[in-house]
Amino acid sequence: MMTGDQYVESIRKMKLRMYMFGEKITTAADDPILRPSLNSVKATYDLASCPEHADLMTATSSITGKKINRFCHIHQSADDLIKKVKMQRLCGQTTAACFQRCVGMDAFNAVFSTTFECDKKHGTGYHGRFVKYMRKVQEEDLVVDGAMTDPKGDRGLSPSRQADPDLYLHVVERRPDGILVRGAKAHQTGISNSHEVLVMPTVAMRPDDKEYAVCFAVPADAEGVFMIIGRQSCDTRKLEGSRLDVGNCAYGGMEALVIFDNVFVPNERVFMDGETDFSGMLVERFAGYHRQSYGGCKVGVGDVLIGAAALAADCNGAAKASHIKDKLIEMTHLNETLYSCGIACSCEGRKTESGNYQIDLLLANVCKQNVTRFPYEITRLAEDIAGGLMVTAPSEKDFRHPEIGPYIDKYLRGVAAVPTEDRLKVMRLVENLTLGTSAVGYRTESMHGAGSPQAQRIVIAREGNIEQKKELAKRIARIGQK
């Protein structure tokens, strides 16, 4: 396994093509806006080298028999699924941000089982290729961006019926040694910090969408791949040199629009090409794993937010008020409910035909449906407890100013024993998590990441088995009986 520092160096050596604020950059490692997001991924390496976290952060590879980072693992049991959620909570607690490496892990497990079943039906050879690819990922301890979401254009039209054929990523040419693909993937978490990108289709497809049913992996710096980094609220504060104003200066997350401009993929890296009947399975399995993931990562970040709200109350002397205590209880209740869902869908996990473990789909979708709501309520309560100062506090420069600084120190102090600076730090952390750069990962991503709410309701409707419930009610009501 790589150390965190080796990981950073490995990313620095890559020739990524990235654009931000109209300028070209080549690495996140030396960029003040992107570096905190790299640090969050680095934490997945650093934590894996801590002996006290070895049980959660590492696993024994089913492919090589060696010790690997759990983020590269093919889950072998329900216990592995539970440990995955616990690992994500730990990483969320450590970074208070999106640590990005889960999308690859979730893609590995979905592609692993889907290629097996596809080969069985169609006689294709994808599974063996994918296992070979996973061996490399595990041995080199790589970060892989799992790329699913196409831009999608007109939502009322299927991939092949779009006015612009590139709005879903597709095969443009087949050669004896591989395929040429074109298109884009949107909202790509962690792509600037990834060694590789594993592309999957984004919807279930019909036979005429054949060119769009494609799954493959390429290095993130492959010829023709480039990324346009997304803006985040308050992102340029990181350029101002104030640690205090940023709120979470060490860690962050990142997303980008990734363009695949006629990218060549050699055959050994193609894991689906035209098998439209397996596109839906791959999407559903990946989404299921990622909806489970949110029962871990969001909970860990939620732990930090609850702590920040409690600290805010300590700072202004309100901690003993019964309504504050009650709000903290409510936040904890909501956060632990999310965790319960993440653990439950893992406990109910089952073996797939390929031998890896898949979460319970109904419970994972219930997990994510709750995630589309509860972090918003936790955020509302955190803002309630923090007070308006979280959005009205002056800058660090004013606080350090020799003439006006002492006034800020005097008038923005809460309880006498807590330095004003500490109170301001807590305010900025609440701001960062609810409105700032980390709000991308904690708030809006809770709504749309791993699929928007309606996507979960479709699975809940199908898996909820209303007909069976009607039968239960009929029997108790003695309908059809004398």
Question: Where on the chain is the footprint of Fe ion (CB under 5 A)?
Answer: 449
Is residue 87 at the binding interface for ligand SF4, with CB under 6 A as the rule?
no
Is residue 100 at the binding interface for ligand SF4, with CB under 6 A as the rule?
yes
Among ligand SF4, Fe ion, none, partner that 102 touches (CB below 5 to 8 angstroms by kind): ligand SF4
Q: Which residue is nearest to Fe ion (CB)?
A: 449
Q: Would you tell me how many other CB atoms lie within 10 Å of the CB of residue 358?
A: 23
Residues with Cβ within 8 Å of residue 214, at least 6 apart in sequence: 169, 170, 171, 179, 181, 199, 201, 270, 272, 273, 274
Counting residues that bind ligand SF4 (by CB under 6 A) gives: 12
Please report, as residue ranges, which positions from 14 to 53 form the binding site for ligand SF4 (by CB under 6 A): none
Q: Pick from 283, 267, 301: which is nearest to 371 by CA? A: 301
Smallest distance, Å, CB 451 to Fe ion?
10
Instruction: With residue 300 as reference, give the H or E element that holds it.
Output: helix 279-316
Please report, as residue ranges, which positions from 148 to 207 form the binding site for ligand SF4 (by CB under 6 A): 189
Which pair of structure tokens corresponds to residue 406? 């002492």
Is residue 297 at the binding interface for ligand SF4, with CB under 6 A as the rule?
yes
β-pairing, 67-69 with 178-189? unpaired
Residues with Cβ within 8 Å of residue 474, at least 6 apart in sequence: 480
Smallest distance, Å, CB 292 to Fe ion?
12
Question: Closer to Fe ion at the Cβ: 252 or 449?
Answer: 449
Among ligand SF4, Fe ion, none, partner that 29 touches (CB below 5 to 8 angstroms by kind): none
β-pairing, 196-199 with 144-147? parallel
Helices (H), ranges, 49-179 = 54-57, 78-95, 102-122, 126-140
Smallest distance, Å, CB 43 to ligand SF4?
11
Is residue 371 at the binding interface for ligand SF4, with CB under 6 A as the rule?
no
Residues with Cβ within 8 Å of residue 478, at least 6 apart in sequence: none
Question: Closer to ligand SF4 at the Cβ: 133 or 289?
Answer: 289
Looking at residue 247, what DSSP letter applies? S
Q: Pick from 233, 243, 250, 235: which is nearest to 396 by CA? A: 243
Q: Specify the residue for token string 């520092």.
A: 5
Among Fe ion, ligand SF4, none, partner that 96 touches (CB below 5 to 8 angstroms by kind): none
- In contact, 148 and 137? CB cutoff 8 Å: no
- Candidates 215-223, 275-283, 290-298, 402-410 — which segment interacts with ligand SF4 by CB under 6 A? 290-298
Helix and strand numbers (H, E) in the chain are 19, 14
Question: Closer to Fe ion at the Cβ: 39 or 188?
Answer: 188
- Per CB under 6 A, the list member of 7, 71, 99, 286 interacting with ligand SF4 is 99
Residues with Cβ within 8 Å of residue 452, at least 6 apart in sequence: 372
Question: Closer to ligand SF4 at the Cβ: 48 or 263?
Answer: 48
- Per CB under 6 A, the list member of 74, 102, 263, 287 interacting with ligand SF4 is 102
Is residue 220 at the binding interface for ligand SF4, with CB under 6 A as the rule?
no
Looking at residue 31, what DSSP letter applies? -
- Candidates 95-103, 149-157, 339-347, 430-438 — which segment interacts with ligand SF4 by CB under 6 A? 95-103
- Per CB under 6 A, the list member of 68, 98, 110, 341 interacting with ligand SF4 is 98
Q: What is the DSSP string of 302-347?
A: HHHHHHHHHHHHHHHT-TT-HHHHHHHHHHHHHHHHHHHHHHHHHH
- Candidates 129-137, 158-166, 292-300, 343-351 — which segment interacts with ligand SF4 by CB under 6 A? 292-300
Among ligand SF4, Fe ion, none, partner that 226 touches (CB below 5 to 8 angstroms by kind): none
Smallest distance, Å, CB 98 to ligand SF4?
3
Residues recognised as catalytic? 98, 102, 189, 255, 290, 294, 297, 445
- Candidates 117-125, 235-243, 272-280, 289-297 — which segment interacts with ligand SF4 by CB under 6 A? 289-297
Among ligand SF4, Fe ion, none, partner that 183 touches (CB below 5 to 8 angstroms by kind): none
Measure the CA–CA gap between 67 and 58, rounded to whole angstroms: 7
C-alpha torsion angle, residues 304, 310, 315, 321 (rounded to 10):
170
Residues 245-274 as x/- pattern, contact with ligand SF4 by CB under 6 A: ------------------------------
Could you list the residues that contact ligand SF4 (CB under 6 A)?
Answer: 98-100, 102-103, 189, 293-294, 297, 441, 445, 449
